[in-house]
Amino acid sequence: MLYAELKRGFLFMEFCPTCGCRLEPRKNDGSFILCCTKCNFTKQPADRKTEARTGAVLQPKAKPFMTIISEEDQKIKTMQTIKMKCDKCENNEVFVWQVQTRGGDEASTQFMRCTKCGHTFREYT
């Protein structure tokens, strides 16, 4: 149960002045009092209209994202290279990087891109 009172559009919680724990609402003779679960401090709510509220926690929806690399940035050769033959143009040097495309307990996928023709291929390691 979560206690909150609405004042001027803001949501407030109250805390115990003795131990600092959050005060929770409890029913007492048909009305609510605020009670500390740790030290049993009790207090009357500041507003008699205050009610106990419960609700579901809303999870934000993940927004898809895409990284766009400009042509100028693509010309920068900062990626690691290895000696491997490209199937498309027979070049012997490729850029290499790894991405975790499957479960965390499985091996990562190694991607290669030819330094000459730009052909991209992958290898499951």
Per-residue pLDDT tens listing for the chain (125 residues): 344 444 444 456 788 888 888 888 888 777 778 888 888 888 877 655 545 555 666 777 877 877 777 888 777 667 788 999 988 999 999 999 888 877 778 888 889 999 889 899 988 76
**Calpha distance 42→114 (Å, rounded):** 71
* Domain span including residue 82: 71-124
What residues form DSSP beta bridges with 98?
Answer: 110
What residues form DSSP beta bridges with 97?
Answer: 111
Q: At a CB cut-off of 8 Å and minimum separation 6, what does 19 contact?
A: 36, 38, 39, 41
Look at residue 28 and tell me if it is in a domain: yes
Look at residue 14 and tell me if it is in a domain: yes
Is residue 105 domain-shared with residue 76, that is, in the same domain? yes
| Number of domains within the chain | 2
Q: At a CB cut-off of 8 Å and minimum separation 6, what does 12 contact?
A: 4, 5, 6
What CATH number does the domain containing 21 carry? 2.20.25
pTM, to two decimals:
0.38
Q: At a CB cut-off of 8 Å and minimum separation 6, what does 101 contact?
A: 108, 109
**Calpha distance 57→40 (Å, rounded):** 27
- Are 1 and 8 in contact by the 8 Å Cβ rule? The answer is no
